[in-house]
Structure 1
């Protein structure tokens, strides 16, 4: 065994003889190095924690600012939404007022044209032509306004149903007469076929008139020249079935699900450039639903379309139903 290692003045690693003072200096140097390393490590750790907390604080501040900005933005969006809703409501009220105001002069124009037509034998060919044009344009404008009012009434559910006894033959004759000139212009012949045990039913005359009016109008619009449109009516003990059949272009099966939706424009177009708002069939479906009936469609592209409206013979008023003034 090396005796030098037992002596406190001997550095066993270096194998050198050192005195007590040198040994103490060495210990101080080692302690200083250790403390320096610990200090640097602590400073580094503290700096890391500081940077971490600073970044977290900045992130929280940014998140707070973003949340505040988002809150302000949401408030602005809500304020804009409320302003737009108020503006839209005001617009709707103005349009309702204008539509109702327009109905009166249009009805007068249509009525005066009908009065003039009573003396039709004394009119020239040109006068008859212009008279028929006046009636056609006035009727189209009146129907467009009524369709808009109808759809708003359906959405708002503001009006009540009115049940009364109706003479179907008279109601149908009046409707077909109103479309006689439009059909004649396209060379379309209107046919009425009624097979009823009783021509009197209990229903809402405004509902039924609007339903048949829209279906007859569509049948004429979507029929080529020189075709036929049929209105067939038959009954069973509890139901009455209206079938409006045309020889038009037909409806593609892929589009039938969209038939009764508002403002739907299908690939099938009117055959003589007539206008179409895309509201008619939506109105039909809603009115038939209110009368507790149903609508069925049969169609073949290139052959024609038939709409079947099945209604109860006696409709019971329901407090939740709507109707048109």
Structure 2
């Protein structure tokens, strides 16, 4: 016959294991809730407040509070406190805002500080151990009827070897000791709290570092832009002087020997390149600083294109490139800045000639489409490889293929062109096929 005592022992063991299982599930549910809070909140204060609220509600504590190490490393700062009647009453006595409640780490008269410094938990029964130096024993004597006698359990907040703060929860005076489940839960919370606060501290520090680096980068970019603007502006004076002297010398050109004429031609071409570089740098600096002035007004784009064609015809003739013009005569009034638009068209046509093949063609055409005029400059040149096309409008970009390696240029022209077109309210794009040519197309609003 089975021994009844043995059944009792088995029943007790099963009950005990069932209790352990229930408690383990409760702990896991609590930790899951805390994890969800941790990933959905981004400040130490909001996480700490929600943590202590959930912990006291779930485990049935009277109230609780959380303190973490302050930025100066010399204080503990209250970052979460349950809004119970006891805590509200004590906060009124302190006459201090919660955000300004902090404890000097050099003072040993506070359990939160002692636990933080030692890394070991404590049990206290006097509220002075928590609220010193903000509350005195005389203050508490006057509100004893409101405050339920209690025991307060204070734990450190730890991550790895770092002690990040401390937290406290309280139970009624009649409860002499916590249950095993409560003890284990609070011991686990020491680390869960630590993980949450350490993660937030790292995120805050990273954000602060990123902000500092961003500010530093912006300052450096501003200094660079100012330097480029000042340098290029100051360079215009000597470049203009050189240009003037070249014009004077050119008047004596009929008297030049063949050697002198060849050398003079090289000097003149170098001067033109330098002038173009200075102008491009100045436009880039103005564009990035937002100081480009664009005076938009109705203008005759066909007449402007004719002027550009007359200017670039000599270089096209030298390169043996044919120019083709097909302009829409029914829509020629656009909104733009005459000087800036001239620079755009001249740059696109000059590039189309420079990067063309001998006996190639450059075709300029206009076409009205809805409320805009499309202007296209197409060439039969070397084209741009697909892998290089994303860089075309970047500063200092020059495709250095076998056929274009020796073509002079600053690599700033198309960056300036895009900036000017957009400043005038237009858009620009291109299509290109390597070995067959490129077509740049920009739009401007029609006038009227």
1:61-100 counterparts in 2 under 5 A? 61-100=194-233
- Contact kept in structure 2, 1:259 and 1:281, CA below 8 Å: no
Deviates more, 1:264-273 or 1:203-212: 264-273
Alignment RMSD, CA only? 4.6
Tell whether 2:397 aligns with 1:262: no
2:2 and 2:420 mapped to 1: Cα distance? Answer: 108
Note closer, same or farther for the CA distance 1:70–1:92 as it changes in structure 2 (3 Å cut).
same
Quote the Cα distance in structure 2 between the aligned partners of 1:158 and 1:261.
20
Counterparts of 1:235 and 1:65, CA distance in 2: 63
Cα deviation digits, residues 168-203 of structure 1 (max 9, x gap): 4783266327x73xx68xx513555667779x9785
Could you tell me how far apart the structure 2 residues matched to 1:84 and 1:91 are? 10
Q: 1:158 to 1:315 in 2, by over 3 A?
A: farther
Contact 2:326 2:363 in 1 (8 A): no
After superposition, the C-alpha distances for 1:141-180 in whole angstroms (9 at most, x for unaligned) are: 3323333333443444433323486764783266327x73
Give me the whole-angstrom Cα distance separating, in 2, the residues matched to 1:80 and 1:306. Answer: 41
Moved more, 118-127 or 240-249: 240-249
Give yes or no for the alignment of 1:117 onto 2:250. yes
CA distance in 1 between partners of 2:191 and 2:262 (Å): 81
1:176 alignment counterpart: 312
Between the aligned partners of 2:339 and 2:223, the Cα distance in structure 1 is 28
SS in 1 for 2:211: helix
1:105 aligns with 2:238: yes
Which residue is 2:292 aligned to? 159
Q: Work out the CA distance in 1 between the residues paired with 2:401 and 2:447.
A: 34
Give me the TM-score of the superposition, normalised by structure 1: 0.63
Aligned-partner Cα distance in 1 for 2:202–2:431: 56
The higher radius of gyration belongs to 1
SS at structure 2 position matched to 1:189: coil
Distance 2:211 2:443 in 1: 45
How do 1:267-286 residues align onto structure 2 when only pairs under 5 Å count? 271-275=404-408, 278-286=411-419
Q: CA contact under 8 A between 1:249 and 1:304: conserved in structure 2?
A: yes
What is the TM-score when the length of structure 2 is the normalising length? Answer: 0.48
Residue in structure 1 matched with residue 263 of structure 2 by the alignment = 130
Q: Gaps spanning 5+ residues in structure 2: where? A: 21-178
1:189 maps to what in 2?
320
Which of 336, 342, 362 matches 1:209?
342
Q: Describe the superposition over 1:68-122 as per-residue Cα deviations: whole angstroms up to 9, x where unpaired.
A: 2432332233223212222221221112111211222223223322332232121
Higher helix share: 1
Number of residue equivalences: 275
In structure 1, the residue corresponding to 2:244 is in which secondary structure? helix
Question: Which whole-Å CA distance do the structure 2 matches of 1:248 and 1:57 have between them?
Answer: 72
Q: Gaps (5+ residues) in structure 1?
A: 1-11, 15-29, 317-325
Does the aligned pair in 2 maintain the 1:245–1:307 contact within 8 Å? yes
Bigger relative CO (Cα 8 Å, ≥ 6 apart): 1
More deviation, 291-300/111-120 = 291-300
Q: Distance in 2 between matches of 1:304 and 1:47?
A: 81
**Counterpart for residue 4 of structure 1:** none
For residues 65 and 299 of structure 1, what CA distance do their matches in structure 2 show? 54
**Following the alignment from structure 1 to structure 2, what is the Cα–Cα distance between the partners of residues 285 and 13?**
96
Name the CA shift for 1:88/1:64 in 2 (closer, same or farther; >3 Å). Answer: same
